Amino acid sequence: MSISELDITAEELERAVRPAPPSMDRLRDDLGRLRQDIADGDHRGVERQRALGKRTARERLDLLLDEGSFVELDMLRRHRAQGLGMERQRPHTDGVVTGSGTIDGRRVFVYAQDFTIYGGSLGEAHALKIQKVMELALSTGAPFIGLNDSGGARIQEGVMSLNGYGGIFQRYVQASGVIPQISVVLGPCAGGAAYSTALADFTFMAGDTAQLYLTGPDVVEAVTGERVTHAELGGAQVHGSRSGVATFVHDDEEECLASVRDLLSMLPSNNLGRPPAAPPCGATTDLRPRLAEIVPAEQNKLYDMREVLAELVDDGEFLETHRNWAGNVICALARIDGEVVGVVANQPTVLAGVLDAKAAQKAARFVRFCDAFSIPLVTLVDVPGFLPGKDQEYEGVIRHGAKLLYAYCEATVPRISVIVRKAYGGAYIVMDSRSIGTDLSLAWPTNEVAVMGAEGAVNIIYRRQLAAAADPVTERAELLERYKRELIHPTYTAERGLVDDVIDPAETRMAIARGLAMLRDKRKHSAPRKHGNVPL
């Protein structure tokens, strides 16, 4: 039977056999199901992640960001690698969730590596996704946060994985000093990925699952014969107390991500803005008589500088960086009369507060960060000098001490120093003295500023006189009294203009708050140059 014998035209027949085009509703539903499947993840992979005591990438972002604020980018991205079975497995997201959200209403850009997909390993598409949000963070002037949980470079993608890391590192350097960069280690972070933490401004590590190293235990054993566990090689406690790589260490992911939010609340979004300020709280008239009780007048008696700091800052609250590394110096962010400040302070309870190579490195990096992001610096000085000894010289204490010296000399933010008790030798100079450019120098009546302490000075200056003395003990006591009376009495530095005022300890919070108000509009002025040569 021909078409002509049917009561139907050719056009009508063609329409009858052709599949109906999908409706918009159907396309929308299909896309919605795909997105939901991607968000839910592989069930077995998610269960394995939780069995390790870890949250999924999306659960971590929910903890970090304001509720409902996350906007995901590149959700449908997949790798294009061929060979070694890669063409048969092309999961969406390629093992990293990227996008933007808010923290306390302020814009941030983030990535969270997904260990359930290829172990969070980094390939070409994975790297390009991270690079995209880094570029958006830099172009919009918003902080950048990376949540790391990755086995490292994706071996199956060869050199493209290494190329991807290089692109990420380049962007970290481009953004350095322009936007705050925070790295959070919530699982393994091995090989090239480890440099993302070293290039960031702050590194957080959480719990027993956080592991950070260039080469894992198997490689270490193969090369050196040494057997070492993941925790011994690169656990959170190791990097928090021995290497200094971890700025903050926390027991679990929830506490860690809450601390990231706390840190962001004290940082500006970029180098052109100011840190978020709280309302003034009357610090300019706030006397703290307890300060005189905390600090003994005797130079060799110990006290906890954290107690002093708690009296000086608003609500007694401060966020201390590297708390368990180089404990002889304290570095912390806090507020004084609502304004964010960076505090550097000697800690007498650890090595009597001396400066050593590690303490100088720690403080120098902190000072440079504060200066880059317009955070005023407050320095509390009680330092007997640099730690002497062969080990320190071999460790390069001269070079590392020069880093701190360089950082302070270069800083253009408002700078206030308070000499609480002793300030001896080169350490006095380095701890933001008048000679290297502090704007306001204050001292307590207990201050002693000199080349060295009285005992050492008398033993050197009067060596022959003491050796010939009929009563060396009485002679030494008289010479000590003379030295203190003539060279380190409370107003000695003030009389020479090296201290602006000697204040009652109770007035310290008040004096710092007034000084910060006076210096708030300080302008940067420096000679034009490409850059200085930091003694790295």
Q: Write the secondary structure of 344-375 as one string of H (helix), E (strand) and C (coil).
A: EEECCCCHHHCECHHHHHHHHHHHHHHHHCCC
- How confident is the model over 517-521, as a mean pLDDT? 95
CA separation, residue 121 to residues 91, 112, 372 (Å): 13, 12, 33
How far is Cα 298 from Cα 295, in angstroms, rounded to an integer?
Answer: 9
For residue 169, pLDDT over 80 is answered with yes
CA dist 101 to 96, 109, 156, 276, 527, Å?
A: 16, 6, 32, 18, 39
Q: Which residue has the higher pLDDT, 528 or 425?
A: 425
Q: How confident is the model at residue 533 (pLDDT cuts 50, 70, 90)?
A: confident
Q: Exposed e or buried b for every residue in 202-227, given b needs 16+ CB within 10 A?
A: bbbbbbebbbbbebbbeebeeeeeee
Segment 11-35, tens digit of pLDDT = 665 666 666 677 888 888 878 888 8
Q: How far is CA 108 from CA 103, 137, 141, 289, in A?
A: 7, 7, 9, 42
| pLDDT at position 459 | 85
Reading the block at residue 271, the tokens are 């180098």
% of the chain beyond a pLDDT of 70: 95
Q: What's the token pair of residue 294?
A: 């905390």
Could you tell me which residue, 321 or 222, shows the higher pLDDT? 321
CA-closest candidate to residue 428, choices 403, 456, 447, 413:
447
Closest CA to 346 of 235, 427, 246: 427
For 211-253, give the DSSP string. Answer: EEESS-HHHHHHHH-----HHHHHBHHHIIIII---SEEESSH
Q: Which residues are catalytic?
A: 191-192, 426-427
Same fold? 24-264, 283-451+490-519: yes
Q: Is the pLDDT of residue 237 over 70?
A: yes
Q: Give me the mean pLDDT over the 37-42 stretch.
A: 81
What pLDDT, on the 0 to 100 scale, is given for residue 123?
92
Residue 444, pLDDT score = 97
Residues 442-460 have a mean pLDDT of: 90
pLDDT at residue 280 tops 70: yes
Task: Please name the helix (run of DSSP H) or strand (run of DSSP E) that holds residue 409, with its range, or none.
Answer: helix 397-410
Residue 178: per-residue pLDDT: 97
Maximum pairwise Cα distance, the chain: 142
Sequence-ordered list of residues with C-beta below 8 angstroms from that of 6, at least 6 positions apart, any chain: 13
pLDDT confidence tier of residue 445, bands split at 50, 70 and 90: very high
CA–CA separation, 433 and 427 (whole Å): 9
Tell me, what's the pLDDT at 5?
55
Q: State residue 530's pLDDT score.
A: 76
pLDDT of 73-116, one tens digit each? 999 888 887 777 777 788 888 999 999 999 999 999 999 999 99
Dist CA 378 CA 369 (whole Å): 14
CA–chain centroid gap for 503, Å, is: 33
Tell me, what DSSP letter sits at residue 105?
T
Question: Is residue 227 very low, low, confident or very high in pLDDT (cuts 50, 70, 90)?
Answer: very high
C-alpha neighbours within 13 Å on the C-beta side of residue 290: 8
Q: What percentage of residues in the chain have a pLDDT greater than 90? A: 70
Q: Phi and psi for 95 in degrees, rounded to 5?
A: 85, 15
Which amino acid, residue 177?
G
pLDDT over 90 (residue 267): yes
> Can you tell me the mean pLDDT for 438-451?
96
pLDDT given at position 32: 84
The predicted model gives 118-125 an average pLDDT of 90
User: What mean pLDDT is reported for the chain?
Assistant: 92
* Lowest mean pLDDT across 23-37, 201-215, 414-428, 511-525: 23-37
CA separation for the pair 30, 534 (Å, rounded): 57
CA–CA distance, 496 with 499 (Å, rounded to integer): 8
State pTM to two decimals: 0.91
Residue 10: pLDDT band (50, 70, 90) is low
Domain ranges across the chain? 24-264, 283-451+490-519, 454-487
Which residue do the tokens 């309870």 mark?
349
CB-based contact 276:266 (threshold 8 Å)? yes
d(CA 291, CA 382): 14
Tell me: domain 24-264, CATH 3.40.50.300, correct? no
Cβ(350)–Cβ(382) below 8 Å: no
- CATH class (in words) of the domain with range 283-451+490-519: alpha beta
Q: Could you tell me if 314 and 284 are in contact, meaning their C-beta atoms sit under 8 angstroms apart?
A: no
Which pLDDT score, from 0 to 100, does residue 526 have? Answer: 64
Q: Are 237 and 231 in contact (CB under 8 A)?
A: yes
CB count, 10 Å around CB of 343?
25
**pLDDT reading at 396 higher than 80:** yes
| Averaged pLDDT for residues 174-184 | 97
What pLDDT was estimated at residue 355?
97
Joined together, the tokens standing for residue 106 give 């302020």
Give 303's contacts (C-beta < 8 A, 6+ positions apart): 294, 295, 296, 348, 349
pLDDT band at residue 529 using 50, 70 and 90 as cut-offs = confident
The answer to which of 20-34, 307-321, 379-393, 507-521 has the lowest mean pLDDT is: 20-34
Phi-psi region of 418 (alpha: psi -120 to 50; beta: other; left: phi over 0): beta
